[in-house]
Amino acid sequence: MSLHVVNQASDLADLAGMAFVPTMGALHDGHLSLVRAGVEMGHPVIMSIYVNPTQFAPGEDFDAYPRPIDDDLAKAEAAGAQVVFVPDNSVMYPADEDIACPPLPSVATEPRLEDAHRPHFFTGVCKVVARLLDLVRPSHMIMGRKDYQQLLVLQSMVAADPGRWNNVEVVGCETIREPDGLAMSSRNAYLAESDRDRALGLTRAMQAASEVADAATAEHRMRTVLKEHDLRVDYAVVRDSHTLMPVTGSIHGHRALIAAHLDAVRLIDNQSI
């Protein structure tokens, strides 16, 4: 079946009940794994490609963000998507409609992780995903654990207002990595080949954290490894997998989360430890 590319809200009228994969494009195998997961679950899959201005702060990489739309459509089709929704700003945020952000759940404001370092971010993400869910009305929304706090925030947002989105189920899928362990990311396109070893500092730091028993030692080890790779750390922590708040006692079964800058490129990663 050939791919159906749509860009108006009215084009979605008969497409409710699909598995939905929201993205900002520049697709890689991480995004495509989400499409495949929907197909494997037995659902027709709709992907959206929209670089959402409201989740970027001034000075972040909104203008530079890669937008290879023809490549993206070919990849989405090859992975098994049936529909790709490519709205522009006037469809997402019409001038005559007030598109509101739902109340932010506590996991979007209390952990002091992405919320502390990108204060605009979850307001922008919740606003755009709420709008997309209103338009697409899927049965499932499939997301990556690569953006772990984002996944928990959106699961909480939907759980707080289940009737609005017809009990859509938010499904989290494992992070897809390059053979060397680097988490796939559209922003990896900003990395020079010579940066790759430094970028692996995140993976190596989480590995070091998984070898110890308590959060303080794990966090100290992560910072040491990140510094050895000449990365500037926003956070390198072990947190409760559900609340993202600090843990006491054994860290086994909790989550290591890192955000660090490789020069101008901000990288994030996480894993269960």
Q: Which residues bind ligand AMP (CB under 6 A)?
A: 23-24, 30-31, 33-34, 143-144, 146-147, 173, 175-176, 183-186
Report, in Å, the least distance between residue 141 CB and ligand AMP: 9
Report, in Å, the least distance between residue 220 CB and ligand AMP: 27
Catalytic residue among 4, 28, 31, 43: 31
Report, in Å, the least distance between residue 151 CB and ligand AMP: 7
Residue 261 a catalytic site member? no
Q: Within 13 A of 249's CA, how many CA atoms are on the CB side?
A: 4
Closest CB to ligand AMP among residues 165, 221: 165
Beta carbons within 8 Å of 85's beta carbon, 6+ residues apart: 6, 7, 11, 12, 46, 47, 48, 49, 50, 132, 135, 136
Closest CB to ligand AMP among residues 83, 215: 83
Helix/strand/coil (H/E/C) assignment for every residue in 88-117: CHHHHCCCCCCCCCCCCCHHHCCCCCHHHH
Closest CB to ligand AMP among residues 114, 147: 147
Report, in Å, the least distance between residue 237 CB and ligand AMP: 19
Closest CB to ligand AMP among residues 148, 235: 148
- Residue 36: alpha-carbon gap to chain centroid: 17
Closest CB to ligand AMP among residues 37, 104: 37
Torsion of CA 104, 108, 111, 117, to 10 degrees: -120
Closest CB to ligand AMP among residues 176, 200: 176
DSSP at 165: G
Radius of gyration of the chain (CA): 19
Sheet holding 265-272, edge to edge: 232-239, 255-262, 265-272
For residues 120 and 66, give the distance between their C-alpha atoms in angstroms, rounded to a whole number. Answer: 21
**Secondary structure of residue 20 in the 3-state scheme:** strand
Report, in Å, the least distance between residue 62 CB and ligand AMP: 13
Report, in Å, the least distance between residue 2 CB and ligand AMP: 23
Torsion of CA 30, 192, 62, 6, to 10 degrees: -40
For residues 185 and 141, give the distance between their C-alpha atoms in angstroms, rounded to a whole number. Answer: 19
**Secondary structure of residue 43 in the 3-state scheme:** coil
Active site residues: 31
